[in-house]
Structure 1
Amino acid sequence: MTIFWLITAAMILVALAFIAPALLRKSELKISDRDKQNVVIARERLLELKSEHAAGTLSDEEYEQTKLELEQALLIDLDSAGEIDPAVGSRKGSPVTLIVAMLFIVGVTLSVYLYLGTPQLVDPATMAQQDDKKMPSIEEMVSALVERLKENPEDAEGWYLLGRTYMAMKDYQKASFAFEKVNQLVSDQPPLMLAWADALAMSSGGDMQGRPAELIRKAISLAPEDQTALWLAGMVEDQSGNYARALEHWRHLKPMLTEDAGAVEQVDRLIAAAERKMAASGPGAAVEKPSVAAATGQAITARITLSAELTSQVKPEESLFVYARALEGPKMPLAAVRLKVSDLPATIELNDGQAMVPGMNLSSFQQVVVGARISRTGNAIAASGDLLGEVSPVSVSGDAVVELVIDSVIP
């Protein structure tokens, strides 16, 4: 701010430097020059009189009378030239005039700037405060977008933008909900399907089995040359134990990444890891394997009912997910079964054969959480408004039947 006012003062001084010499310089009016002017004027007037007299405009008497008056006036002017008026004949610049001019220039300059300019731009602190006031936070922008989508729920672009924003905020569950809405509005678009699958996988700790795998496999069938689809499809097959299929996707992808050395290096690591897994699995690994083995090991029996208070809030065709997950650690299900509300009350068994990821099953834990959730959207990811019932801790080695009552609503 100080620099600004210093520059302003310097510019005003420069302006004053141009006018100060003229205001302070001594000026003299030369008498001789003044006499010459009077004589020239008199001669011109005399010629005019002669022309008018010759033309008959003036009579002889008028001509002589006017000529006499002109000569007398000229004589008076020449006689008075000898008396020099100091105020007229010689003038010296006054400092008072310079001061008045300086104050006038400064006053006008500042007044015009304050009226037409933007003084607050000079102060960084003020600008920062204004920026804080003008720029809404990410949360405010998200809230505004959500309100807009409530008014226009068919806005696919708005839902996609909301999903990408939630992904950047690492709120993967809300992102998956937004991308699901996009896919409902615009179907069979590989980029949208992959975005939804990515959000679902991230909300499950990186697990791509289940719905994410379905979306990715459909996307790669629609767009077999899509780099993102090839990358994710390889990861899906790798997690499923289908190493040969994973290698096929990644080897197809690698030549497309020649301009990105870092991506090529990462794909090479994935290929090497898949080759080691396939070699360790034996000859049969080249054949696509099922995602889970037959039911073995521990099992939990659960009886699921719906509280009478919530019966009127559900529809028979709505999805019911029954699951067991680790008491501590990853939230992805160790075993899961999908039913419908019309199946209630129901008694089901959760076992190792229902694991979503090999090695992450009931037998790997001693205690788990057993739950049942009615999804209002049909999505495997919990969302606001879903009905829920959970029991924990439940011993995996126990033989007792777990009584699950769906009696609460997810806020």
Structure 2
Amino acid sequence: MMAFWIGTALLLVVSCILIVYPLLNPKEIDEATQRDDLNKAFYKDRLAELESEDQAGIVGNKSDLVTDLKQLLLDDIPDSKSDAKVSAEKVKWMTIPVILFMIILSYGMYAMYGAQDKVSHWTNVASNLPELSKKLMNPNGVQLTDQEMNDLTLGLRTRLQSTPNDATGWVLLGRIGLANRDIETAIGALTRADKITPDNPEIMLSLSQALLFSADQVDLDRAKDILNYLMHQPKVDLRVYSLLAFNAYNDGNYGKAIEFWKKLQAQIGQDDSRYAMLERSINTAQRELDLQSNPQSKQPQGTPVKITISLSSEVEVPKSGVLIVSIHSADGSPMPIAAGRYTLTEFPVTVVLDDSNSMIESRKLSSLSDIMVRARIDTDGNVSTRDNDWHGESLPIRLGDDVAISINKKY
């Protein structure tokens, strides 16, 4: 911050010098001498004209005209040179007002239209980066708020400008981008980390996860190549199976998704808490596979979902805000299949979502067989922030069943 103010002061000093220097050192011009030279030149020209006119017989009193011309030349001689000196002194006294005007104008305009608050926040974030990083990495710590996540992103970007070869910093930035659903930042940062530290399985795994959330087919193909490479390593990370299953399910290759989920189940064993969740995912994929082989059993196109939302006693409804209702696949994927935005009214309230609320044209709500529903009271109108928002969600259910949700949790 100090460097910023020193820099502005130096720029201001240079500007003042460029403006004030000509005032303090005016170019000395001898106006009297210049006027004398001009009068002499005029006198000589007029004498030559009179000589020509006299020879031509135009004038008859040449001597009188010459006498008058000499008198005019004498009358135009200046009395003194003091006026010029007084004028130069007055100009020098203008330097002080000019300097004051420059200072007031520069810092006044910056105070009105500059980004002083943002610069101050930026420097504070950069100095607090180690503390924010420790808070993020502490598994038993309090979850970072959206503002803290944004601050951490800003601090990391600032540090990476001076240490562009810090692979750990790029990985951290990429994972924060994933957490904030900023896929472009996540892919860019993790790609940079992969170039700095090639063939690092942990970085490659994080990169493939980011690429799978992209809408670009080139990114999706790249994710598949990375996962296939990791799948053929001597020691396969369990997350590779999960990502391969997720990718296969989104591609509609339900048989392959089931295969990967079963391999993952075999690795973790039935005592693991994730086993039951994987079982539900397998069942969902199996129903989708059955629908592919027997299309007549599919739900009618546009099956609506009726959702009744109530509030727990501790929820305080804000004066301004909106109700966000989203429908997800039964495996709890964070990306909604369909969503609706409603004004806040008295609760309980009932809403209905159907194919018209689908987020992606190629994947309609009616294409699912099992779903789960989430509801959130958004307090600031920005769906990407969740600080102090109340929310709730349902258990996995069959598409077409009525849903009842209680909003009872706070971010």
- The alignment's TM-score, normalised by the length of structure 1, stands at 0.34
Normalised to the residue count of structure 2, the TM-score between the two structures is 0.34
**In terms of Rg, which structure is larger?**
1
